[in-house]
Amino acid sequence: MVSVAAAIESTAAVPAGAAAVLDDPLEYERCTRWVSGPDGQRLAESNLQLAGMYCAACAGTIEHALQTDGGALQASVVAATQRATVRWDPARTRFSELIAAVRTAGYEAVPDAAAPAREMRRREHRTALWRFFVASFCAMQVMMFATPSYVARGDELGADMRQLLNWGSWIVTLPVMWFSAGPFFRGAWTQLRAGRIGMDVPVAVALAVTFVASMGVTFDPGGVFGNEVYFDSLTMFLAFLLGGRYLELRARHRAAEGLEQALARMPETAERRSVEGGWETVSVRRLQPGDEVRVRLGQAFPADGVLIEGRTRVDESLLTGESEPQPRAIGEPVVGASINLGAPVVMRVERVGADTRFEAIVAMMRDAMSQRPATARVADRWAGVFLWGVLALAGLGALAWSFIDPSRAVWVAVAVLIATCPCAFSLAAPAALVAAAGGLARRGVVFQRLEAIESLAGATEVFFDKTGTLTEDRLTLREVRLLPGADLDADAARERAASLAQWSGHPLSRALAAADRPTAPEVAPPTGESAGTGASGRAPAPSWRELQEQAGAGLAGTDRAGCRWRLGNWGWVGGQGEPPQPDARVWLSRDGQVIAGFVIEEALREGASAAIAELRSMGLKLTLLSGDDPARADAMARRLGMDESLGGASPEDKLARVAAAQQAGGKVAMIGDGVNDAPVLARADVSLAMGQGALVARTQADAVIASNRPGDLVQARRVATRTMRIVRQNMAWAALYNAAWVPLALVGWLPPLAAGLGMAASSLLVITNALRAGR
């Protein structure tokens, strides 16, 4: 079968045979998800990898081509990552027509799948490197020809020799203009033909004016173009510019390779149990829920499911950021794309394709990299206005100098055009945000919207759901409180309560039993099993008889000495009046005398307390939202050191609380995990969901904490704050550069060579600074 890479190899319109391959649903569905249109129709939303883009204006050109020539309903193109998200109706157009529309506009596109995208990046990298090499090599030769003109004094350099050197410079400049400068001229022509203006336009104008004027001097010395040639400035400027763009291209390719590495974790085939009981190798796209799959040692799990044979350890570092392999036994879940490190096992498939947790994370990464942030859109809009001002300013400068010193008019116009090229402005925001999103994804925080990074940096209040977000779905013993007159110490009371609690399946009893056996499973022993050995191993526990359990009250039993012990609520154990410790949920008594109370609460997620403390140190207001009992919610908030709590809250109550904070001027971040959190996640200025939370919560959230570690929220806030600081630094540098160099160019103090060096250095500084956001 013809590969997708071969299908897009030609640079002309898509041939009929290649179109059939591209239009095969099994091929394009790898980069496509299906959504519902406004009238309920089934629409495709496909991701494309692009090539040939050199400025933000190219994005508008491709979007226009996709919507007019390709028949797309919506198109969003991001120059920073060279990706497009296209929504289209298969009943109105075909996938191959979308590819053809992009190529007709003068660019390249392939489905955002690993093999063709990787080949396209390889070709793009090779071409960019060759263009840079040709420009740099020829620039050095031109500088050799130009050096005598700079160092000669008086009549040391004769007119005929000067003319010969100019001819040599012209010949060496020809391959630079034809090959290295080609993308700028094609980009400028495409932009002007589409009625748009981008950064290629002033660059192309500067190159053309410089070359024509210098060629005029070469062919007609002393004529209308004067006596000075600028071949050295032209070639050096182009070498600097191509060098900066090559570094930008490498940064984009690294981001794309990071996503590709994530995609590569999912295997292409799987060993499925056949109806005859043997094993057959099938494509992972043919797996269905309920299939039984064998996963060998070292292989990746092909889907989400549960183990049904064997025990192993799995590497989930790509999905959760957890560096240590995690144990998995029969009945425990495994995640697609995690690596089997322990032993061969058999799993039962539960979720496949786009329903798996891995594919959901990859889809979010794609979405984030296919979005143009608000900051970038503002920069792009002002860059267009700025470009028209640049062209007008260069024209006025040339006109003024044609009266002051006609021989320098071209020199000044070219310097203005080069110095004011707003590459740095358009790169300032998207480069930093894309780098930050990639860095956070490696740490287990995956953003669906790049804008959310900016919102997280500006948040002033953080609202937390309690259960599943700050706490785990299990109870734990926090404290033993002895009453006056108790003749047992705290350890002995805990051991006696744990021994009796083993005979009950109630969650509170299981928490007590687990507290005395921290390494044992949290389950009660089978009925009839002897309880004659202390669970802690430190002292023998009594053998219980005459066991009695009353639902909703507690458990009672008689020990060897004939003492009657009760474990349960205050009234069940014989307490009178109100309990002396309101937060103690379980009490222990012997022969009617209450001995101790046990404070049992939900187990905090590892690192939750430290995360809350760090967020408070950042000056954030922290509020706990919970549907749990108000007293327990308030106790949890006080334990963590949070500012406020709202217990017994319905989804409507949570939504109203967040809306009130927003109306008061706060910028709200919401952290949740459940179905009831989805409305408030959607309402918050920025929202994050736990990776193991409900699907609807993850869908509504701006980012997912795949690691389920609260501490990663702190890291995300730090990265977001640092990223926006980098964006402001980039913007300030770009503005300062233009404010300083434009006047110098207008007064004739800035030669074109220096202008080119400054422009390239400005873009290089912005890109290098932006890459810090991903570290």
Strand ranges (E), 531-585: 545-550, 554-558, 564-568
- Cα separations (Å) of 733 from 58, 206, 622, 755, 761? 24, 23, 35, 16, 11
User: Is residue 746 predicted with pLDDT exceeding 70?
Assistant: yes
What's the distance, Cα to Cα, between the start and end of the chain in Å?
Answer: 42
CA distance 115 to 556: 67
Residue 327 β-bridge partners: 313
Q: What is the reported pLDDT for 530?
A: 32
Greatest mean pLDDT among 30-34, 251-255, 328-332, 397-401: 328-332
Q: What mean pLDDT is predicted for residues 235-255?
A: 73
Residue 40 per-residue DSSP state:
S
Q: Which amino acid is at 80?
A: A
Q: Which residue has the higher pLDDT, 143 or 206?
A: 143
- Written as six digits, the tokens of 210 are 């410089």
DSSP string, 676-702: GGHHHHHHSSEEEEETTS-HHHHHH-S
Between strands 554-558 and 292-295, the pairing is: unpaired
Summarised one tens digit per residue, pLDDT across range 169-188 is 999 999 999 999 988 888 88
Question: Tens digits of per-residue pLDDT, 677-696?
Answer: 667 777 888 888 876 654 54
Confidence of residue 519 (pLDDT cuts 50, 70, 90): very low
Averaged pLDDT score across all residues of the chain: 77
What tokens appear for 332 in the block?
């425990």
Q: How confident is the model at residue 286 (pLDDT cuts 50, 70, 90)?
A: confident
Evaluated on CA atoms 555, 556, 559, 563, the torsion sign reads positive
CA angle 148, 149, 151 (to 5 degrees): 65
Q: How confident is the model over 473-515, as pLDDT tens digits?
A: 677 788 888 888 888 888 888 888 888 888 887 778 888 887 7
Residue 312's DSSP bridge partners are 328
Decide: 447 and 441 in contact? Cβ < 8 Å.
Answer: yes
Q: What are phi and psi of 602, to 5 degrees?
A: -65, 145
Band the pLDDT of 6: cuts 50, 70, 90.
very low
The predicted pLDDT at position 676 comes to 57
Q: Please determine, for residue 16, whether its predicted confidence score (pLDDT) is greater than 60.
A: no
Q: What is the mean pLDDT of residues 77-91?
A: 84
Q: Under a CB-based contact definition with an 8 Å cutoff, are residues 518 and 534 in contact?
A: no
Give the mean pLDDT of 588-599: 90
Least confident span in 455-459, 473-477, 644-648: 473-477
Is 523's pLDDT higher than 60? no
Rounded Cα distance, 300 and 104, in Å? 40
The larger pLDDT score, comparing residue 717 to residue 222, is at 717
**CA within 13 Å, CB half, 493:** 25
Beta-strand runs (E) in 168-207? none
Measured CA to CA, the distance from residue 413 to residue 527 in angstroms comes to 93
The token pair that represents 581 in the structure block: 């410790």
Residues 6+ apart with CB under 8 A from 682: 700
Is residue 273 within a helix (H) or strand (E), and if so which, with residue range? strand 269-273
Residue 517 or residue 658, greater confidence: 658
Amino acid type, 497: A
- Give pLDDT, residue 382: 59
Quick one: average pLDDT of 2-30? Answer: 55
pLDDT, position 540: 41
pLDDT of residue 348: 94
Tokens (6 digits) for 128? 């960019």
Tell me how far CA of residue 604 lies from CA of 247, 477, 514, 631, 747, in angstroms: 45, 11, 15, 17, 67
Can you tell me the distance from the alpha carbon of 508 to that of 248, in angstroms, rounded to the nearest whole number? 58
pLDDT higher than threshold 60 for residue 13? no
Nearest to 55 by CA among 191, 178, 165: 191
Q: pLDDT at position 524, please?
A: 31
Helices 231-264 and 752-771 sit at what angle, rounded to 10 degrees?
20
What's the rounded Cα separation, in Å, for the pair 394 and 409?
Answer: 10
The pLDDT of residue 567:
92
Structure confidence at residue 108 (pLDDT): 86
Per the CB < 8 A criterion, the answer to whether 292 and 347 are in contact is yes
Q: What is the pLDDT of residue 191?
A: 76
In this predicted structure, the answer to whether residue 12 has a pLDDT above a threshold of 60 is no
Whether residue 345 is predicted with pLDDT greater than 90 in this model: the reply is yes
Q: Rank 8-17, 93-102, 282-291, 357-366 by mean pLDDT and report only the highest.
A: 93-102
pTM above 0.85, yes or no: no
pLDDT at 173 (0 to 100): 93
Rounded distance between C-alpha atoms, residue 215 and residue 765, angstroms: 33
pLDDT for 48-57, tens place per residue?
888 888 766 7
Give DSSP secondary structure letters for 359-416. HHHHHHHHHHHT---HHHHHHHHHHHHHHHHHHHHHHHHHHHHHHH-GGGHHHHHHHH
Confidence grade of residue 202 (pLDDT, cut at 50, 70, 90) = confident
Looking at residue 518, its pLDDT comes to 41
**Higher-pLDDT residue of 444, 261:** 444
Alpha helix locations (H) across 14-113?
Answer: 16-22, 25-28, 57-68, 95-104
> 532: closest CA among 548, 518, 544?
544
Percentage with pLDDT > 70 across the chain: 78
The candidate with the shortest Cα–Cα distance to 695, out of 401, 443, 363, is 363
Question: What is the pLDDT, as a whole number, of residue 536?
Answer: 33
To which residue do tokens 């995990």 refer? 673
Structure confidence at residue 294 as a pLDDT band (50, 70, 90): very high
What is the pLDDT at residue 137? 94
Average of pLDDT values for 697-721? 80
